[in-house]
Each structure stands twice: as structure tokens, then as C-alpha cells.
Amino acid sequence: MGIKFEFELDEQDLRYFQNIIESKGPSRPDIDLEDIVSATRELLERARRSDAPRFIMAMLEQLGPLADMVTDGDWRLPQEDVERVRAALAYFSDPEDLIPDDVPAFGYLDDAVIVELACRALRPELEAYRDFCSFRTDELTRRREGGEDVVVVSRKDWLEAKRIELQENPHARRNFFGHKKD
């Protein structure tokens, strides 16, 4: 039987972690995006090889899609969004973090908290990217089965498919408040 622990971060706690994220990211333009992504992937691999608890690993696994989102040539995330992800991932390129990673059981806890905060801030982008990845897989399969010799399905293809979907299914359109438009 498991035990459930819950904790809530208040505004002061959130500011504390946001300040940490900001101190590692935007103020460090000297760190290249490729280095940040590489360090992020390395942290994730180290954590996978460690004895990190499953609840921490569940949060850390979100690093994969974050890193993929800024490196996926087919997705081509707008530069403003790349900078937001870069700032969120920069924390993982600094070997000096709140809890050293080699502390048994809890070494990755600070990383997991930062990941969770970053993913919450980037939720719309992550959801769109996950939707794109599913679309790309399905679309490549569909095109290949149709005899097309396609190797790339782009963000533009995905956006066009979304536009067509909304035009063909007006009942799926919603206004700002989530109510169906007339």
C-alpha cells in the first residue's frame, strides 16, 4: 500500500523557485541552447540509472518532451517560445542545484519541482507539441499507405489540418470561455 503526500506551494514559494529558474536561464545568455538541451538529456539519463523514487522519475520524464520540443526540426517552435523553454531548461545545465543529485532518494527532488513548474508554465505548448507528434505519426502512416513518398510532416501541415478540422466541424469550435460558438 502506498502513501500519498501532497504539498502546496504558496505565492512566496512559487516566487522562490521562479527566482531560481530565472537566475539560471535568461541571465545566462552565454549558455548555448544545444548545451542546455544536452545537459537536460544527461540529467534525465542519470536519473533513470539512479535509484530515484518513481514519483520523482514521473516528473523528470517530462524533460524529454520539453527538450524535444525545442530541437524538433519539424515542429519549429517560434523563437519566443524557444526562449521560454530555454529559460526553463537552463536550470538543468548548472551542476550546482539546490539538492546535489547524488543525495540518496531525494537528490532529484529539486529538479522534479523545477520540471513540474516549467511544465505548468508551458502546458499549452507541450499539449500542442504532443498533439503534433501524434498527428505526425498518423499522417506519415496515412501518406505512406496511400503510396506517397513522404519523409516530413511539419508544424504547417498540422496547423492546416487543425484549420480544416475546425471548418468541417463547426460544433467543435469554442469561444474564449469554452462555450460553443453559434
Please tell me whether residues 58 and 113 are part of one structural domain: yes
pLDDT digit string (tens) for 133-180?
999 999 999 999 999 887 889 999 999 999 998 888 766 555 544 545
Please tell me whether residues 35 and 73 are part of one structural domain: yes
CA separation for the pair 2, 89 (Å, rounded):
31
Helical segments of 50-101, H only = 54-60, 63-71, 79-89
CB 55, CB 122: distance < 8 Å: no
pLDDT digit string (tens) for 46-79?
999 998 899 899 999 999 999 999 999 999 888 8
Q: Report the interhelical angle of 79-89 vs 109-121 (nearest 10°).
A: 160
Please tell me whether residues 69 and 155 are part of one structural domain: no
Which structural domain range is residue 26 located in? 11-125
181 contact partners, CB below 8 Å, separation of at least 6: 170, 173, 174, 175
User: In this structure, what C-alpha cell is assigned to residue 126?
Assistant: 507541450
Please tell me whether residues 82 and 159 are part of one structural domain: no
Q: Structurally, how many domains does the chain consist of? A: 2
Reported pTM:
0.78
Please tell me whether residues 89 and 110 are part of one structural domain: yes
